[in-house]
């Protein structure tokens, strides 16, 4: 068996062995581990990232979704602010309809300084049960899910946000407190799965 | 029906609105005189009231947005479903989740699709989580999303994501059975 066939066989085996979860992890449950390459070609391992950061924020985002795009500046600013405090932000694009080059161009256009990964065949979205963009998951240093939901409640008017849920959760995590509002909801664009 | 609108006008009922005079939207886009118009805006209570007005019918409530591609793709099947089943005790309601600034896009979408059922916009302001949870606590906010109420007004089916005509038809025919 040549190397490419062996790789194909391995991938098929992994795909068959790893069930697609309809629902993601519950708050407090272990966050599914995954390994991907960042858009600048570096390896990314969630397990490694958990060990070296106070928390990891996984952000399922899109380039063409108006709701996700309404949060571009907020995501950039929150990542800049909390990145300095030991929180790692990872933007995950799971949409089959958006190419790696589009994701790179979009990130450059909006000044994203956070890590970006493309999620081939939406496997990570399936692991987490992510349904739409933007959708946030915070993973603690012990690998457990601490928060799932939205960035805030006001998609349209960033200056009138009354419930900055992601920031509140991060502040509580940094203070060593439990996240009081660990699950929130908002409307969003469905993830375009294969 | 809720007739108080954030849009700056009052709509007495959707049938009258269908025959409204030529409408010029805020962006200057003209919509044909016979184009379907929004029936107004509503919050969770307004939606419950709208569903209750069709008590005795199977009521299909579809949540959609112009920015949602699968919503746009399935919408024509809802238009078709309503025409096919209106005489058999089925009512359809549409609820747009678009941003209020996108009202012109919503009107344009309705004009292009000619629904013969009322469509509302979710009232802006408030916390969307309250609206989502009031519609269905298991709804995560993804669109499209469709809830089917039985003749007794109770929630009977929840359809998450894009549906086919056969999916919609199956949901209502199951509930029409005596």
Could you report the predicted ipTM of this complex, rounded to two decimals? 0.77
Give me the pLDDT at residue B124, please. 87
Are the beta carbons of B128 and A155 separated by less than 8 Å? yes
Q: Are B1 and B13 in contact (CB under 8 A)?
A: yes
Spatial separation of the C-alpha atoms in residues B102 and B93, rounded to whole Å: 20
Residue in B124, B133, B142 closest to A132 by CB: B142
Distance (Å) from the alpha carbon of B143 to chain A's nearest alpha carbon: 6
Q: Is the dihedral of CA B91, B97, B98, B103 positive or negative?
A: positive
Verify whether the Cβ–Cβ distance B67 to A131 is below 8 Å: no
**Cβ–Cβ under 8 Å, residues A32 and A106:** no
> N- to C-terminal Cα distance for chain B?
28
- Residue A20 in contact with residue A124, Cβ under 8 Å? no
Residue B168: which H helix or E strand, with range?
helix B165-176
Cβ contact (<8 Å) for B141 and A65? no
Inspect the interface and report whether the beta carbons of A131 and B142 lie closer than 8 Å. yes
Cβ of A161 under 8 Å from any chain B Cβ? no
Confidence of residue B121 (pLDDT cuts 50, 70, 90): very high
B161 Cβ under 8 Å from any chain A Cβ: yes
Q: How confident is the model at residue B93 (pLDDT cuts 50, 70, 90)?
A: very high
H-run or E-run covering A116? strand A115-118
Q: Which chain A residues are Cβ-neighbours of B161 within 8 angstroms? A: 190
Contact A131 B141 (CB under 8 A): yes
The three-state secondary structure class of A101 is helix
Residue B8 has pLDDT above 50, yes or no: no
For the segment B116-133, the average pLDDT, to the nearest whole number, is 94
| Mean pLDDT of all residues in B34-56 | 91
Please say if the pLDDT value at position B11 is more than 90.
no
With 0.80 as the threshold, say if the pTM is over it: yes
Output the tens digit of pLDDT for each of chain A's 194 residues: 344 434 433 333 333 333 333 479 999 999 999 999 999 999 999 999 999 999 999 999 999 999 999 999 999 999 999 999 999 999 999 999 999 999 999 999 999 999 999 999 999 999 999 999 999 999 999 999 999 999 999 998 999 999 999 999 999 999 999 999 999 999 999 898 99
Range B66-73 average pLDDT: 94
Closest Cα of chain A to B65: distance in Å?
9
Report the range of poorest mean pLDDT among A50-59, B21-30, B59-68: B21-30
Whole-number Å distance between alpha carbons of A6 and A43: 22
Name the residue among A14, A81, A92 with its Cα closest to residue A49: A92
For residues B149 and B58, the answer to whether their CB atoms sit within 8 Å is yes
Indicate whether B79 pLDDT > 80.
Answer: yes
């Amino acid at each position: 068996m040549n190397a490419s066939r062996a790789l194909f066989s391995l991938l098929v085996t992994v795909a068959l062995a790893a069930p697609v979860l309809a629902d993601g992890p519950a708050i407090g449950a272990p966050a599914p581990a995954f390994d991907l390459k960042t858009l600048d070609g570096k390896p990314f391992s969630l397990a490694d990232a958990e060990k070296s950061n106070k928390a990891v924020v996984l952000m399922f985002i899109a380039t063409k979704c108006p709701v996700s795009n309404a949060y571009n500046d907020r995501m950039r600013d929150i990542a800049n602010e909390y990145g300095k405090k030991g929180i790692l932000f990872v933007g995950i694009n799971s949409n089959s309809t958006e190419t790696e080059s589009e994701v790179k161009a979009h990130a450059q256009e909006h000044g994203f300084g956070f890590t970006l990964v493309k999620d081939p065949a939406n496997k990570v979205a399936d692991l987490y049960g992510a349904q739409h963009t933007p959708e946030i998951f915070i993973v603690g240093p012990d690998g457990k899910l601490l928060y799932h939901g939205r960035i805030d409640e006001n998609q349209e008017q960033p200056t009138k946000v009354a419930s900055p849920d992601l920031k509140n959760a991060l502040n509580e995590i940094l203070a060593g407190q439990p996240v009081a509002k660990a699950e929130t909801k908002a409307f969003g664009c469905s993830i375009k799965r294969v | 029906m809720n007739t108080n609108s954030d849009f700056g006008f009052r709509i007495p009922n959707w049938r009258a609105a269908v025959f409204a005079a030529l409408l010029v939207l805020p962006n200057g886009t003209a919509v044909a005189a016979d184009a379907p118009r929004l029936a107004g805006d509503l919050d969770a209570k307004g939606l419950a009231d709208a569903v209750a007005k069709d008590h005795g019918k199977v009521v299909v409530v579809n949540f959609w947005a112009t920015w949602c591609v699968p919503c746009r793709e399935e919408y024509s099947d809802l238009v078709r479903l309503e025409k096919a089943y209106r005489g058999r005790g089925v009512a359809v309601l549409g609820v747009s989740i678009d941003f209020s600034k996108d009202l012109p896009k919503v009107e344009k979408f309705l004009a292009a699709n000619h629904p013969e059922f009322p469509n509302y916009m979710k009232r802006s302001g408030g916390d969307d989580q309250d609206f989502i949870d009031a519609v269905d606590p298991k709804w995560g906010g993804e669109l499209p999303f469709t809830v089917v109420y039985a003749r007794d007004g109770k929630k009977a089916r929840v359809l998450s994501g894009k549906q086919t005509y056969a999916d919609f038809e199956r949901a209502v025919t199951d509930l029409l059975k005596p």
